[in-house]
Amino acid sequence: MPDVLSAPLVVEFPFTRSLGPVQSAFLTGLRERTVLGVRTGDGKVLVPPVEYDPVTAQEIHDLVEVAATGTVTTWAWNPRPRRDQPLDTPFAWVLVRLDGADTALLHVLDAPGPEAVRTGMRVRVRWAEDRTGAITDIACFEPYDSEPGETAPHDGEFTEPVTGIVTPARLDYTYTPGRAQSAYLEALADRRVVGERCPSCRKVYVPPRGACPTCGVATDERVEVGPRGTVTTYCVVNIKAKNLDIEIPYVYAHIALDGADLALHARIGGIPYDQVRMGLRVEPVWTEGSRHPGHYRPTGEPDADYDVYKELV
Ligand SMILES: [Zn+2]
């Protein structure tokens, strides 16, 4: 049996979004311990609010303050909280219909165990100590027996409204490559690039996925490609990425390695960013201790003729 490769993989980026008037009022309201919904054309109150009526698509902005108490409409127990979840002790994910609302809000309920949670139970908001204008201003919900609370119209006006939020998105998982990708990674460890040829259309895929997406057949003929290649297209990156120690501007390019029928993408170095061009011939620059080339640099050969790589753009 071959060794099975496995590695932790994290895909993470902060997503910055600006808020329209309705979302701005909702999140600023949370900062001020006020839960706002929006009334639709047929009189329903939506919490969390949206900017457009889901039935008629009309723009809606008629804000309503609902109660900070409500009823659990459904739930699921989470026995093992993960990093950055609202509570670090086991909790229930709940949909809560706040008093005065017709829709339910997804949040978490602090409860000692699943036996303490049921659909129909009464709950209330537990406000976070430090509130910034985010859904996490509601720290969680907690069990609370009470009569249904009241609603009241609200003008949505606050001092220093929140106009934008940063939402971190993070996926972390353990990745286990299949047969084709394992062979590709093992060859990379020897600084060789190995693709697979489709037995039907004869295309060489790099990196290989084990099957041809066009013909739908398994690919098992290994073909060494590169190491040199041709820039088929590229972009100049002017935005500094967090946690990435590369000076901007820099060039990220699609590179067709010699013998490959699919371009891979990599950074181009060793040449001023404004001199990179389609057809530029490049070669990998390997980084000590890394399985992947750190970047590609010009070989000094004449540029490739467009006809040679036009099918790969
Ligand atoms: Zn094929």
Percent helix / strand / coil, the chain, rounded to 5: 10, 40, 50
Phi first, then psi: give them for residue 293, nearest 5 degrees. -60, 140
Average pLDDT over residues 35-40: 96
How many whole angstroms from 206 Cα to the centroid of ligand 1?
A: 13
How many whole angstroms from 208 Cα to the centroid of ligand 1?
A: 12
The arrangement of strands across the sheet holding 221-225 comes to 204-205, 193-197, 221-225
Cα angle, residue 292 at apex, residues 181 and 290 outer, rounded to 5°: 115
DSSP for 116-160, please give it.
G--TT-EEEEEE-SS--SSGGGEEEEEE--------EE-----SS
Predicted confidence band at 2 (pLDDT cuts at 50, 70, 90)? low
Percent of all residues in the chain with a pLDDT value above 90, rounded to a whole number: 79
How many whole angstroms from 261 Cα to the centroid of ligand 1?
A: 11
Residues in contact with 264: Cβ distance below 8 Å, sequence separation at least 6, in sequence order: 206, 207, 254, 255, 257
Q: How far apart, in Å, are the Cα atoms of 111 and each of 27, 76, 117, 121, 141?
A: 25, 12, 7, 12, 9
C-alpha–C-alpha distance, residues 201 and 154, integer Å:
64
How many whole angstroms from 198 Cα to the centroid of ligand 1?
A: 5
**Any bridge partners for residue 168, and if so which?**
14
How many whole angstroms from 197 Cα to the centroid of ligand 1?
A: 8
Average pLDDT over residues 200-219: 94
How many whole angstroms from 175 Cα to the centroid of ligand 1?
A: 26
Predicted confidence band at 56 (pLDDT cuts at 50, 70, 90)? very high
How many whole angstroms from 283 Cα to the centroid of ligand 1?
A: 27
Residue 79, pLDDT > 80, answer yes
pLDDT tens sequence across 132-190 = 999 999 999 999 998 888 888 899 899 999 999 998 888 989 999 998 999 999 999 89
How many whole angstroms from 260 Cα to the centroid of ligand 1?
A: 13
pLDDT value of residue 290: 80
Residue 243, pLDDT > 80, answer no
Phi first, then psi: give them for residue 23, nearest 5 degrees. -65, -35
How many whole angstroms from 223 Cα to the centroid of ligand 1?
A: 15
Q: Which two tokens stand for residue 3?
A: 């060794």
Which among 270, 268, 288 is positioned nearest to 278, based on CA atoms? 268
How many whole angstroms from 280 Cα to the centroid of ligand 1?
A: 28
pTM of the model: 0.69
Residue 1, pLDDT > 60, answer no
**Any bridge partners for residue 164, and if so which?**
18
Q: How far apart, in Å, are the Cα atoms of 51 and each of 42, 63, 98, 168?
A: 15, 11, 19, 23
Q: Which two tokens stand for residue 43?
A: 């009189």
Residue with tokens 């600006």: 18
C-alpha–C-alpha distance, residues 80 and 67, integer Å:
30
Q: How long, in residues, is the chain?
A: 313
How many whole angstroms from 220 Cα to the centroid of ligand 1?
A: 12
How many whole angstroms from 209 Cα to the centroid of ligand 1?
A: 12
Q: Please, are residues 67 and 149 in contact by the beta-carbon 8 Å criterion?
A: yes
How many whole angstroms from 203 Cα to the centroid of ligand 1?
A: 6
Residue 288, pLDDT > 60, answer yes
How many whole angstroms from 291 Cα to the centroid of ligand 1?
A: 28
pLDDT value of residue 302: 97
